[in-house]
């Protein structure tokens, strides 16, 4: 058996020998810096946004689960999911500083799975609303909420995909949904999905129970389009076409062929039997480029127009089917509204 010999190693030698070659040490240093930068961004977002995130639960004596919400005004208005408040007119709202406050459902919209609640308080911290149209796949996404009642829980990931169509817990198909791998659990519903600048880009809404890292959020632009109606009328008076779509790029040769200046359109994913779109002979795979003589470049455009155009009045739809440019006339119906007092 050989003799094991020891020798004193200076600090400089230990630094050189224990951590590999200069290139390896440089790579490790860059990795550490990148991790620190990522951590700093997530921590900064969490510090800025957590005070505006609340826990929602049924009022005392009422059955119901719990969820999350995000304050967007200092006088107590907050966004959450329709399915979080469904069947409730009053809720309990727990703020990040531990206050337990009464809240009232102001309005709800099953079409987008969004709702507005007002807390009986003022001078509250609130979150800025961002622009979900500018999202790109791969960018940082931070989710904040109260999964299983654990307040102020933060998870981080990326925007995994855009333009998804999701059937919500209420049974409605929601278009243009954000997919993320930021971990969500029951109770996260209604909480904010936030970008690296600390602005709300979506409202977390659902997970796929049998999958890992596949979670969904309603884009914040959908909320911004309907907030005035929810806050003023308690519901959205929206034209209903009976179709589901997604935003897609428009090929340049196709745009040139039909003399279109826009670079995107809405692809029809599904058409509901006997609905207005079906009766107007709109078909899956059609590309909608205008409604009511106004350009349609995204699902958000379509939703916005359906809240602006009169219900029960025929509207012109220009669509592309293969190489054909077709005009149809669709008669929007009013989408059935939800009554917050209904039990």
Q: Which residues are catalytic?
A: 83, 113, 189
Query: Residue 287 and residue 271: Cα distance in Å, rounded?
Result: 13
Planar angle of CA 80, 81, 85, nearest 5 degrees: 90
Query: Residue 314 and residue 331: Cα distance in Å, rounded?
Result: 4
Diameter over CA atoms, the chain? 97
The torsion angles phi and psi of 301, rounded to 5 degrees, stand at: -60, -45
User: How many whole angstroms from its chain centre is CA 40?
Assistant: 23
First to last CA, the chain: 84
Q: Annotate 125-172 with DSSP letters as a single string.
A: --PPB--GGG--TT-EEEEEE-GGG-TTEEEEEEEEEEEEEEE-TTS-
Q: Count other Cβ atoms within 10 Å, centred on residue 100.
A: 10
Query: Residue 97 and residue 65: Cα distance in Å, rounded?
Result: 21
User: How many whole angstroms from its chain centre is CA 340?
Assistant: 22
Phi-psi region of 222 (alpha: psi -120 to 50; beta: other; left: phi over 0): alpha
Phi-psi region of 138 (alpha: psi -120 to 50; beta: other; left: phi over 0): left
């Amino acid at each position: 058996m050989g003799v094991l010999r020891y020798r004193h190693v200076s600090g400089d030698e230990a630094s050189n020998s224990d951590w590999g070659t200069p290139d390896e040490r440089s790579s490790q240093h860059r990795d550490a810096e990148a991790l620190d930068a990522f951590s700093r961004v997530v921590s900064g977002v969490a510090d800025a946004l957590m005070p505006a995130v609340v826990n929602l639960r049924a009022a005392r004596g009422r059955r119901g689960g719990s969820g999350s919400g995000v304050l967007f005004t200092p006088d107590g208005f907050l966004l959450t999911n329709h399915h979080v408040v469904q069947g409730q007119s009053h809720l309990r709202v727990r703020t990040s500083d531990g206050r337990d406050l009464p809240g009232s459902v102001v309005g709800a919209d099953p079409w987008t799975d969004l709702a507005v609640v007002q807390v009986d308080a003022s001078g509250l911290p609130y979150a800025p609303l961002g622009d979900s149209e500018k999202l790109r796949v791969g960018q940082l996404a931070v989710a904040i909420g109260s999964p299983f009642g654990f307040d102020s829980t933060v998870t981080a990931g990326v925007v995994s995909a855009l333009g998804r169509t999701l059937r919500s817990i209420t049974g409605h198909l929601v278009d243009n949904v954000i997919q993320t791998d930021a971990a969500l659990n029951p109770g996260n519903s209604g909480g904010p999905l936030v970008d690296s600048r600390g602005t709300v880009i979506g409202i977390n809404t659902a997970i796929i129970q049998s999958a890992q890292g596949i979670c969904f959020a309603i884009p914040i632009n959908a909320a911004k389009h309907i907030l005035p109606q929810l806050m003023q009328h308690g519901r959205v008076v929206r034209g209903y076409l009976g179709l589901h779509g997604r935003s897609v790029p428009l090929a340049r040769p196709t745009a040139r062929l039909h003399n279109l200046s826009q670079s995107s359109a809405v692809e029809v994913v599904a058409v509901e039997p006997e609905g207005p779109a079906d009766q107007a002979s709109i078909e899956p795979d059609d590309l909608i480029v205008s409604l009511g003589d106004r350009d349609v470049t995204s699902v958000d455009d379509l939703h916005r127009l359906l809240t602006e155009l009169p219900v029960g009045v025929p509207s012109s739809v220009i669509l592309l089917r293969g190489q054909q440019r077709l005009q149809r006339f669709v008669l929007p119906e009013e989408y059935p509204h939800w009554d917050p007092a209904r039990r």
